[in-house]
Amino acid sequence: MADQRAKTQLFKNYRYALYATDVKFQPSNRPSGRFDETKRYFSNKRKMYGLKLEASVSYPGICVGLSRCYPGSISDLTIVVQTQDFHLQMLQKSNETLLEEDNGEGWENYSHM
């Protein structure tokens, strides 16, 4: 974050964010096999077969985190919860980051992270 702030490469709407995260659905053909095996890859939301993955991208467009592929029937929230170790690791503040002045809302509540 210190490097991004020094280069003034921050998100326009929320400049305290380190990266943006989204779950992407990648459509595919119906897998071969029995129905019991293939229904894991069917997304009721999109009415398609496919895989999902979570990607985290920092402001200049650099991918900082990419999850493994999950079947299409797994919810986005489940994927985020299963990859929370990565997100908690990214929230850790270094000693030099703790010394930076932070006037954002809620800074007193989260200064110990």
pLDDT digits 0-9 by tens, 70-109: 999 999 999 999 999 999 988 887 887 778 776 666 666 7
Average pLDDT of span 5-9: 70
Query: From CA 88, how far away is CA 80, in angstroms rounded?
Result: 11
- Radius of gyration of the chain, Cα coordinates, nearest whole angstrom: 18
* Domain count within the chain: 1
Q: What is the span of the domain harbouring residue 34?
A: 2-91
Average pLDDT of span 40-51: 94
61, β-bridge pairs: none
HSE (side-chain half, CA atoms, 13 Å) at 82: 15
Q: Answer yes or no: is 37 within a domain.
A: yes
Q: Answer yes or no: is 102 within a domain.
A: no
Confidence of residue 111 (pLDDT cuts 50, 70, 90): low
Query: From CA 19, how far away is CA 59, in angstroms rounded?
Result: 6
Average pLDDT of span 33-43: 93
Q: Answer yes or no: is 96 within a domain.
A: no
Q: Answer yes or no: is 106 within a domain.
A: no
Confidence of residue 53 (pLDDT cuts 50, 70, 90): very high
Q: Answer yes or no: is 97 within a domain.
A: no
Amino acid at site 98 = L
The pTM is what?
0.72
